[in-house]
Structure 1
Amino acid sequence: MEEFKANIKPQVIELDGFDMLPHITNISFYFYYENIGNVNNDQFMPPEQLKTAFYKAMAEFPILAGTAKTDNTGKTYIEITRDNLNKMVYTDSQCDTHFQAFKDADFNPSLLPNAFYEARMVPAPPGYFGGCIKLVEIHIVRMKDCSGIVIFASVSHMIFDAYGFSSFINRWAEINKAMLSITGGIDAVIPCTCTFLQDRSILNIGRSSESDRVETDICDSLSSSRTLSKWLSWISPELRGRMCKLACYYTKVKNCYYHISTRALESLRSSIQEYVATDTPRLSINDVITAVVTVVISQCTILDEQGQKGAVATTRYLLNKIIGGSTDYTLYYAVDTRLRLKHLSDVVYTGNSVFLRKIVTPKDVLQNNSIFQTLAIVASHIRRVVVDTDAQYVGQFGYMVNKEPDSYMRFILGHMSARNAILVSSQTRISYYDADFGYGIPTMVKPGFLTFPNVVLPMPCRPGTDGYDIAFTVSQAVAEKIKQHRFFMDLVSKF
């Protein structure tokens, strides 16, 4: 830690609008490692070495040791000072549960001690008064009989997107693995084959200007509530975090986890392709996964609303009358700009470069077509939106989300105001399973407990398995309806 502090370069990093869009959440994952080689207790991921490797990785990502602050205009920045570092949370402990018990329970994190199962999706200071947001938390739990460990990593989303998060975790693992074989052990210098770019100014390249025409759907996503957006962007990150944490406390969601085999998805893609217009680009597996989960959640939500009676139904009816009662179902689909901007594709940029595209499906489409027709309509729309998101569109969005200090908040409020909304952030191409600390890759990687409703995270293929794990949140009532959705339950049990 002292060596890390001594080498810190004081600096201020102004965050971009892309960083601020997801800033009210954390990126949190559990990495489960089994002691396959029956390595002795004091030699399997030794605590001191693991912690030393962590600080060596931190030295390459100094932004994680900074403090989030807001200036008087509403702009958020990270201040890094050697004498007042934002000390990260790092714990290493033991539990009485064997790794096999986790495998038998499909790696349910509820088997972990309560302190590690708490929801950490919202970046808020500990306690009710004082303190600052911790930008990174690491909790390591060693299992009974040295059978394995679980590493819980949580990082503020204003610092990384999923690509940046995995880059940090994989670099930590790379350093730890190298320390096992390089002369010098924990004091060894582990060279990196790439430079992690964290300077947000690179995002300014190619952005639109005031004179450029901006796509209508970008403007439509902005909230008209300027007074609220200005106030929310002006208050401290800590107060925003506490407000969001309080909102999540009263929002009860059910975390669901399903597996769909690749063969089942390939078969489904072939079945719905005949309903797709000939001028639509070929659907990807990601398109199919997103369409399936979006349609199933939407249809089960409709069924749940139709079954509501009494005070609940009356309240919903009155709310619909007051706020407009749109019958559309909105999908917010996360699109990565790295694939669309040449200057980002040539570097390892670890800041946020993902934003949400809005895709609307009318209620009657979800109700009045066969399941294959509905999936074809939704998947085709997703494919067209992904293809149409080019460098010019990204430049327009980048301009709009940074136009005013509160612009990012206007987008957040606009997204939150959409009724019947689902957010999908595909993780299928993120290299979580490359995180080898020297004892093998993870047996399982699972997202932390999600606290926001209708969030979907398709996960990458687990090595040695066929298919994709799908994590999502819905209300308890909708979760029960999903278990009765014949098409979906047949799909997740196929092959």
Structure 2
Amino acid sequence: MEAFKKSIKSQTIPLCVLDTQGSFSNIPFVFFYENTAGSSEFMPSDALRDSFYEMMQRFPIFAGRVKSTGRGNTSVVVDANNPNMPDYSESSCGVHFDTLKENGFCWRSWPDGIATAGPMTRADASGEIRLINVHVVRMQDNSGVAIYFSIPHYIVDGVAHMEIMKYWCQVYQLQRSGQSERLAGLPVFSVDRSIIQESLPKERKPVDALTHQTFTGFSLIAELLAWLSPKLRGRLLSMVIARQKAEAHLFHVSKASLESLRTTIGALLPEAAAIPNSELLLSVTAKTLAQSQALATGAGASSTKKDTATLPLAVIFEVREYLNLTFKNYSGNALVPLITSTPLKMLETPTTPESLVTMISKFSKTVDSVDPGLVASHIEMVMPRPSCFTRPIARFAGNKTAMSFVYDLMPDMYEADFGNGRPSWVSPIEPFRANAVLLLTSHDNTDGIDVFLTAYPSVMKEVLKNEFWCDFAKLIY
């Protein structure tokens, strides 16, 4: 830790709208490692801690504070004389790893207090927004280790989050094997947001009307949110999310289920075999949540006042490939949300091959529109408008059906190997905002996709009874 403190240099790192548009939430995952050999030297605490702070020397941004200078202009300010130190803690618990396995790693079996930061980006008890939170929990009888690893979306997206976790694993393994001299050869990650502008392709394509309106239209609520300090905004949004009392579940959609669905719709949609898994899941989850919302509220598609009602949906795409950032080790956010709106009457109809084909055809237009020209146009649209990052949340705030769908599969979290093999289990924490869908690499990475899905409690009750969804997706917990 002392070497890390000495390495800190005062600097200001400007963030951009691609960072602030996701700044409301953390990226909080827990990695579970089993001590299968019963070794007394299994992932020792001092080695984990030392390698973590060695890694931190390569990421000085995590010693900074998020500062806003009005209307959304945001930077991370690093003060060498008063660093905002990472929240790194260690503890032990009375839960045996076998208990976790017997309960399928469900959330209720986790040790109490494992998550030291919640789902939303807010100040902790000390009054600071920590830019990385780590909690190492040693299981009963040294049967295993659980590592909570959380970073605010201000700093990274899911891709960068996983790369930093793997970087820690690399540093740990090199130090444990007596190869510290090789640390200098590890990749250098960039936090320079100017890379985004420098990487814009030459092509341009107009942004769709609804996304353009969402990010450029005036909203007093959005402007007020953008003017608030990150700490106050985080506190207010955390209160709003807490009132939702959202319920989360983890589901598994097997390759067999996905192929069966393609076969079912193949007679109506000749290109069904080429439809990406994410697009299929976007269509199915949107229909499932809309149907469940209608049943929960008792206001189904037959309601005349719902003739023009729509479901606002933010489909979030990871765009490193379109910006050629894949070889630059960029550790900031590279996410672009497209805002769509679908008639509820279309979504609430029973899930049949015909209704699914209708939805897939609609969402395909959104998915197929994402190319280098659209990404460049979106970035040029938001960059001169630093306060526009609050406009989607202001637009969605009053709509209980509004949904977010992260289109790209999260990177393989099971690659986080500290030298004892892949983790036994990896999972996000349970609390989250309502009506969100996140696609995860399955524990069995040869079969299908895990789906983290959240909803209001009354809506989730209907999701768990939805006949099509329950046939298509297996409940994990």
Same fold judged by TM-score > 0.5? yes
Equivalent residue number for residue 155 of structure 1: 151
Letter in 2 for 1:34: E
Equivalent residue number for residue 287 of structure 1: 279
Contact map agreement 1:424 1:457 (CA 8 A) in 2: yes
Equivalent residue number for residue 237 of structure 1: 230
Equivalent residue number for residue 447 of structure 1: 428
1:357 maps onto 2:353 in alignment? no
Contact map agreement 2:117 2:133 (CA 8 A) in 1: no
Equivalent residue number for residue 15 of structure 2: 15
Aligned match for 1:337, one of 298, 319, 322: 319
Contact map agreement 1:281 1:383 (CA 8 A) in 2: no
- Which shows bigger deviation, 280-289 or 396-405? 280-289
Aligned match for 1:191, one of 184, 192, 201: 184
Contact map agreement 1:400 1:407 (CA 8 A) in 2: no
Structure 1 segments unaligned to the other structure (5+ residues): 309-316
Matched position secondary structure for 2:339: strand
Equivalent residue number for residue 221 of structure 2: 228
- Which shows bigger deviation, 113-122 or 288-297? 113-122
Q: Give the Cα–Cα distance (whole angstroms) in 2 for the partners of residues 213 and 262 of structure 1.
A: 36
Equivalent residue number for residue 95 of structure 1: 93
Contact map agreement 1:330 1:421 (CA 8 A) in 2: yes
Aligned match for 1:257, one of 250, 267, 282: 250
- Quote the offset at 1:414 in angstroms: 2.9
In structure 2, relative to structure 1, the CA distance for the partners of 1:72 and 1:297 (3 Å cut) is: closer
- Quote the offset at 1:474 in angstroms: 0.8
Equivalent residue number for residue 203 of structure 1: 196
Contact map agreement 1:33 1:443 (CA 8 A) in 2: yes
In structure 2, relative to structure 1, the CA distance for the partners of 1:35 and 1:175 (3 Å cut) is: same
Q: Give the Cα–Cα distance (whole angstroms) in 1 for the partners of residues 242 and 345 of structure 2.
A: 33
Equivalent residue number for residue 273 of structure 1: 266
Letter in 2 for 1:300: S
- Quote the offset at 1:307 in angstroms: 6.6
- Quote the offset at 1:365 in angstroms: 1.8
Aligned match for 2:386, one of 405, 411, 424: 405
In structure 2, relative to structure 1, the CA distance for the partners of 1:449 and 1:326 (3 Å cut) is: farther
Matched position secondary structure for 1:3: helix
CA-based RMSD of the aligned residues comes to 2.7
Pairs within 5 Å for 1:2-81: 2-40=2-40, 43-81=41-79
Once the two structures are superposed, residues 199-219 of structure 1 have per-residue CA deviations (whole angstroms, 9 ceiling, x without a partner) of 00011136599x996542332
Contact map agreement 1:266 1:285 (CA 8 A) in 2: no
Equivalent residue number for residue 457 of structure 1: 438
- Quote the offset at 1:277 in angstroms: 6.4
Once the two structures are superposed, residues 251-302 of structure 1 have per-residue CA deviations (whole angstroms, 9 ceiling, x without a partner) of 1111111112111111212222333365x89201121222222211111111
Q: Give the Cα–Cα distance (whole angstroms) in 2 for the partners of residues 411 and 470 of structure 1.
A: 23
- Which shows bigger deviation, 143-152 or 15-24? 143-152
Q: Give the Cα–Cα distance (whole angstroms) in 1 for the partners of residues 473 and 205 of structure 2.
A: 46
- Quote the offset at 1:145 in angstroms: 1.7
Contact map agreement 1:117 1:449 (CA 8 A) in 2: no
Equivalent residue number for residue 297 of structure 1: 289
- Which shows bigger deviation, 115-124 or 290-299? 115-124
Pairs within 5 Å for 1:340-489: 340-342=322-324, 344-368=325-349, 370-417=351-398, 420-426=401-407, 428-463=409-444, 466-489=447-470
Letter in 2 for 1:238: K
Contact map agreement 2:25 2:119 (CA 8 A) in 1: yes
Q: Give the Cα–Cα distance (whole angstroms) in 2 for the partners of residues 51 and 141 of structure 1.
A: 12
Letter in 2 for 1:106: G
Task: Give the length in aligned residue pairs.
Answer: 472
Equivalent residue number for residue 311 of structure 1: none
Structure 2 segments unaligned to the other structure (5+ residues): none
In structure 2, relative to structure 1, the CA distance for the partners of 1:403 and 1:273 (3 Å cut) is: farther
- Which shows bigger deviation, 45-54 or 221-230? 221-230
Letter in 2 for 1:466: D
Contact map agreement 1:223 1:411 (CA 8 A) in 2: no
Q: Percent identity at matched positions?
A: 27
- Quote the offset at 1:234 in angstroms: 2.0
- Quote the offset at 1:157 in angstroms: 0.6
Q: Give the Cα–Cα distance (whole angstroms) in 2 for the partners of residues 155 and 208 of structure 1.
A: 29
Q: Give the Cα–Cα distance (whole angstroms) in 1 for the partners of residues 239 and 349 of structure 2.
A: 39
Q: Give the Cα–Cα distance (whole angstroms) in 2 for the partners of residues 307 and 381 of structure 1.
A: 24
In structure 2, relative to structure 1, the CA distance for the partners of 1:428 and 1:32 (3 Å cut) is: same
